[in-house]
Structure 1
């Protein structure tokens, strides 16, 4: 299936019968609000996938991406504004009559972009939680306390500061290897250490509390290690008890095949996930999603946006590893493919606090993504390498992450994770074959990819 065929399939994924079409909500939205002008904040593969999906909406007037990357310009207009420059964003939104701001990455949410616009006359709808809600990702200690308060299953833990480092070392002695140490604050996905040696864990605790991750590790959360298989569950919630569960995905964080080597921002993803069956998801909804959504309301925390649940299955039981307050990356690059409904009216309804009975339909096909990265990543790597072959990929959609373009349109690498090669398939084998075929067409100096994405799930099927 060509890229254009994929686009056509997503535009009309379920039925031409009006009462069954998931796009009815979009048509209604367009009638009620005319068409929406949207500003999407971010520059990664996640934002490229969101831009692609939003661009398919029949109720989209204009899409801006700030700052965007070398691929997002295919779906909207890139603008040179930092997602953290709230004043510049407000001025731009007023000038362009922006109706909705979709926040892709976590930094603006933790910094309080929702609160900045909340209550201002004529302000755009902001899809994302308040600063208080963003603490679920901005502070791992807060997140763990929240889970304990609302009886949400998670690993045993304690938090420590420089003043209590010796107590932290004693707590480590009560645990079995491997030892999990997490920086409390945001650390660009690099603030989690999993260590096999007790002595090394104690040493790393001292280094973290001594400034290994700057202010982010002024507090360190030490967790009991949970053994099992992980998956990512995403929820879109309106802050008033309404929510929709998005397609489940599994990502692959380690740089090396067989899940070896250091953690990265993600080397690939698969959806659906074999073990996340109806019974597993019933437990997730009853024990984790509902207590989370209701807990936020009970604590008076405004939350209108995505909740990411990093879960682990331990002997058939779901437990929470972490919360994120936005979509995951590279999971977004498969989840967007598997959402058959028009996403824009769902975002609008969530941002306005009223999801009501709006449908969210899933595409039954498998979707996979393989991330092509720069050599040396997640360590040091070169930038500015010329990318060729991206236009030759077939049966796949390439979501750009770390790319930029020269003035004459030449495509260059600009980051560690360069392009996510996403594809459909009637089964996981076909989807992976399409993703890898596309990844093989993309070339630049030092290109690397994992060749074992999805193999663990294939063994379970």
Structure 2
């Protein structure tokens, strides 16, 4: 089997490694990829979406796996072009990927299908947004578009709300787009991942990520500073409730509204005092949750995704460990506002009890690794108990160093 994975970060490194460990030993390719990924997968000569799909067709690719969300909605859409060229794609077409690409589209879908979610108002200007907030703080502001996980702000007061709205409407940090002003929900968060294949689905291991930059859930929002995953993270009763009230109605809604879906769908949920509610959808695996979940997946992920892309849900191909997995992110100086490249990384050769996924690194001319992005590395360990996994992950992370390194030391500990 010949598989191409689209993306370049830590999530894609985890996906590539999980696919490489499938029993059939598939031949792997990646675009645009990274130096670390290219130790497991071959690079692809392409300069954009159209040339990528042409390369896949010319090189007899059996399966395309969408890791990064942007390609799903770029141009005609990755999955759309794959379908046009007869290439099975594990990832939804452009029209369905609007669940992630447009916060407003997602909110309207949730309301139409009576899926629990916070009330919200769409606004076109800073003035409209201020009027919609109406002095109610804390409030949640969401840019209506893709923003690499940084388009959402939980604003405790007017000053923080005005700062974010200035970034959106005045500085145009993420380009043109509206803003959803949303009710601020309270409670612990949980991430649910489902492999959706038309009208059927399989729920993978639940996870919880750590969005804030600093210990104690303080500091600015990030793309994620760590994650914990386990079937034990939530009770079987709560998972059944989530399936009944959120997952099944989402799958039914996609079918009812003519939105084809074959791929992973992420449900970002808040466990409020009145029950679970949807914060957001992502049309792919989360990052860094993917790095925490993938080591718990057993079986033949490659065959599972290929069958799914062809319309068959074969649950016998995968199973899930009952243990725990903890992912600790090491970020570069300046993150999340900026990042610093070129800081040499030491200690990786000493990591023997954890998996290391590269999010933002590159090889130097002498074969060493250096920083090349905001989030640099994900250090992931598993254990039969949460604290066993926590202890091993943080101990492994202690052995890796680079100038300006930032990390949280409460991943897997806080919120339990």
Shorter-chain TM band: over 0.9
Aligned to 2:80: 115
Q: Is the 8 A contact 2:303 2:317 kept in 1?
A: no
Change (3 A) 1:425 1:220: same
Q: Which residue of 2 aligns with 1:238?
A: 197
1:94 paired to 2:57? yes
Worse-matched range after superposition: 52-61 or 391-400: 52-61
Question: 2:226 maps to which residue?
Answer: 268
**Cα shift at 1:70:** 3.0
Moved more, 346-355 or 134-143: 346-355
Counterpart in the other structure of 1:135: 98
Residues 346-425 of structure 1: pairs in structure 2 closer than 5 A:
346-425=304-383
RMSD, aligned α-carbons: 1.8
Pick closer, same or farther for the CA change 1:81–1:404 going to 2, 3 Å. farther
Query: What SS does the aligned partner of 1:361 have?
Result: strand
Residue 155 of structure 1 is matched in structure 2 by 118
- Aligned counterparts, 1:178-217, within 5 A: 178-198=138-158, 200-201=160-161, 204-205=164-165, 208-216=168-176
Greater mean deviation of Cα atoms: 205-214 or 131-140 = 205-214
1:389 to partner: Cα distance: 1.4
Question: In the alignment, does 2:36 pair up with 1:75?
Answer: no
Deviation, 1:190, is 1.4
2:385 matches 1:427: yes
Q: Deviations over 1:143-194 (max 9, x none)?
A: 00000000000001010113xx544323211x63111111001112111122
Q: How many Å separate the matches in 2 of 1:235 and 1:156? A: 24
Distance 1:205 1:69 in 2: 34
Q: Deviations over 1:339-377 (max 9, x none)?
A: 122211111121111215545311112111101111221
CA 338–316 in structure 1, closer or farther in 2 if over 3 Å, else same: farther
Aligned length: 414
Which of residues 281, 286, 307 is equivalent to 1:323?
Answer: 281
In 2 relative to 1, CA 60–265 (structure 1 residues): closer, same or farther, beyond 3 Å? same
Structure 2 CA distance, aligned partners of 1:224 and 1:274?
A: 29
> Against the structure 1 CA distance between its residues 258 and 168, is the aligned structure 2 distance closer, same or farther, given a 3 Å change threshold?
same
Q: Could you tell me whether the CA contact under 8 Å between 1:365 and 1:424 is conserved in 2?
A: yes
The structure with the larger Rg is 1
The CA distance in 2 between the partners of 1:447 and 1:81, in whole Å, is 33
Contact 1:280–1:317 under 8 Å retained in 2: no
Q: Structure 1 length as normaliser, TM-score?
A: 0.86
1:262-303 Cα distance to aligned partner (Å, 9 max, x none): 111111110117552111111110111111111111111111
* 1:46 paired to 2:6: no
Give me the TM-score of the superposition, normalised by structure 2. Answer: 0.95
Query: Is 2:182 the partner of 1:220?
Result: no
Cα deviation, residue 106, structure 1: 0.4
Number of the residue aligned with 2:413: 455
Change in Cα spacing, 1:170 to 1:350, as seen in structure 2 (3 Å) is same
Q: Contact 1:270/1:367 (CA < 8 Å) preserved in 2?
A: yes
Q: CA deviation at 1:434?
A: 1.3
CA distance in 1, matches of 2:246, 2:64: 28
State the secondary structure of the residue aligned to 1:132: coil
Where structure 1 has 5 or more consecutive residues not aligned to the other structure, the ranges are 1-35
